[in-house]
Amino acid sequence: MKKLFVFAALVTVAGIAGATDYTWDSGTGDWSDTTMWSPSGSVPDDNGDTAELGSGELDLTMDGDYTIGYLTTVGASVMSLNGPNTLTIDPNTGTAADVIHVGNAKLTVGAPISIINSGAGADLTIDTIAPSTTAYLTLNDITVGDIGGDILFSAEQEGTINLEGTIDATANDAEVKIESSSVLNFRGTIQAHADNVVRVQNHDGVLNFDGSVTSGLGVRFVGTGHSLGNTGGPALDGVALRLVNGAGVQLNADNQFTSHLRFDNSGSSLVDFNGHDNAAGVLNLSSADMDLTFDFSDAAGESVSFSDSSGFSWTGSSLELTGFEFGTDSLRFGTSSDGLTSSQLELITIDGVSGDYSLDNSGYLIPEPATITMLGTTGLALGFIRRRFVF
**Is 28 inside any structural domain?**
no
**Is 77 inside any structural domain?**
no
Higher pLDDT, 15 or 329: 329
What per-residue string of b and e applies to 292-331 under the rule 16 or more CB within 10 Å gives b? bbbbbbeeeebbbbbbbbbebebeebbbbbebbbbbbbbb
- Is the distance from CB of 233 to CB of 253 less than 8 angstroms? no
Q: What local confidence, expressed as pLDDT, does residue 384 receive?
A: 44
**Is 155 inside any structural domain?**
yes
Question: CB within 8 A of 84, min separation 6: which ones?
Answer: 62, 111
What per-residue string of b and e applies to 128-152 under the rule 16 or more CB within 10 Å gives b? bbbeeeebbbbbbbbbbbebbbbbb
Residue 14: how many other CB atoms lie within 10 Å = 10
Q: Helix, strand, coil % (nearest 5) of the chain?
A: 10, 40, 50
**Is 27 inside any structural domain?**
no
Question: CB within 8 A of 332, min separation 6: which ones?
Answer: 303, 304, 305, 306, 339, 359, 362, 363, 364, 365
The residues pairing with 293 across neighbouring beta strands, listed in sequence order, are 270, 320
DSSP assignment, residue 33? Answer: -
Confidence category of residue 375, pLDDT binned at 50, 70, 90? low
**pTM given for the model:** 0.86
The pLDDT tens digits of the residues spanning 216-242 come to: 999 999 998 899 999 889 999 899 999
Long-range contacts at 132-135 (CB < 8 A, ≥ 24 apart): 132/76, 132/104, 132/158, 132/159, 133/158, 133/159, 133/160, 134/76, 134/106, 135/76, 135/102, 135/103, 135/104, 135/105, 135/106, 135/159, 135/160
Total domains in the fold of the chain: 1
3-state secondary structure (DSSP) of residue 106: strand
- Is the distance from CB of 237 to CB of 209 less than 8 angstroms? no
Cα–Cα distance between 350 and 97 in angstroms, integer? 48
Handedness of CA 185, 190, 196, 197 (dihedral sign): positive
- Max intra-chain CA distance, the chain: 85
The residues pairing with 170 across neighbouring beta strands, listed in sequence order, are none
**Is 1 inside any structural domain?**
no
**Is 167 inside any structural domain?**
yes
Phi and psi of 279, rounded to 5°? -120, 125
Confidence category of residue 286, pLDDT binned at 50, 70, 90? confident
Cα–Cα distance between 25 and 186 in angstroms, integer? 30
Is the pLDDT at 369 greater than 80, yes or no?
Answer: no
- Is the distance from CB of 77 to CB of 57 less than 8 angstroms? yes
Residue 358: how many other CB atoms lie within 10 Å = 14
**Is 37 inside any structural domain?**
no
**Boundaries of domain holding 107:** 84-390
Q: What local confidence, expressed as pLDDT, does residue 374 receive?
A: 55
Confidence category of residue 267, pLDDT binned at 50, 70, 90? confident
Is the pLDDT at 151 greater than 70, yes or no?
Answer: yes
Handedness of CA 64, 68, 74, 76 (dihedral sign): positive
**Is 260 inside any structural domain?**
yes
